[in-house]
Amino acid sequence: MHQAVAELAAERGYGAFTVGDVAARARVADTSIYRRWGSLEALSADVALTWLTESSPIPDTGNLRDDLRAYAAGVARDVSGPSGLAVLRLVIALAAAGEPGIAARDRFIAERGGQMRQMLDRAAARGEPTPSTLDIVDHVLAPLYVRVLFGLGPLTSEYADDLVDRLLRA
């Protein structure tokens, strides 16, 4: 089901396919989707959250700079991978799809925030100065997402490293 949603979102965009389309692509009955998820929004939210939680593991290198560099490189790799752009577009579209979509977006953001919080909490415990999670979003994640969403060039690990270095110098 997840692969079918990601493929359809990539091919058509969210809002241009139905539960029936997902069911046909996944070769299941649409009643199976309704029974398990209840709606296309709930299934799509599950796809986005699963993608996020199954993406690169949270690094633990022993220092914040290297953790953030590894994290940023992993995010860059994930969002520029086969389902990355589709999932980002899916999360954006869900936010415009009413209350269930907004709740899905909020869960996606909370999960991403929890990932960053793990790294920041470990760094603080080691006595390292830490930026806020919003600073990481503004200076690292947002540029990565914008580049993918608008096709503004490849996301290299060097680019991700540069974003982290600029954040930590600020």
Give the span between the Cα atoms of 82 and 169, in whole angstroms.
33
Residue 82 above 80 pLDDT? no
pLDDT for position 93 = 82
Residue 131 above 90 pLDDT? yes
Residue 73 above 90 pLDDT? yes
pLDDT for position 84 = 83
Residue that has been written with the tokens 């080691």 in this structure: 126
Q: Which of 11-25, 34-48, 86-100 has the lowest mean pLDDT?
A: 86-100
Residue 118 above 90 pLDDT? yes
- Quickly state the pLDDT bin for 100 (edges 50, 70, 90): confident
State the pTM of this model.
0.83
pLDDT for position 166 = 97
C-alpha separations of 162 from 56, 112, 137 in Å: 19, 20, 15
Domain boundaries, the chain: 40-169
Topology (CATH) of 40-169: Tetracycline Repressor; domain 2 (1.10.357)
- The answer to whether the CB of 68 falls within 8 A of the CB of 140 is yes
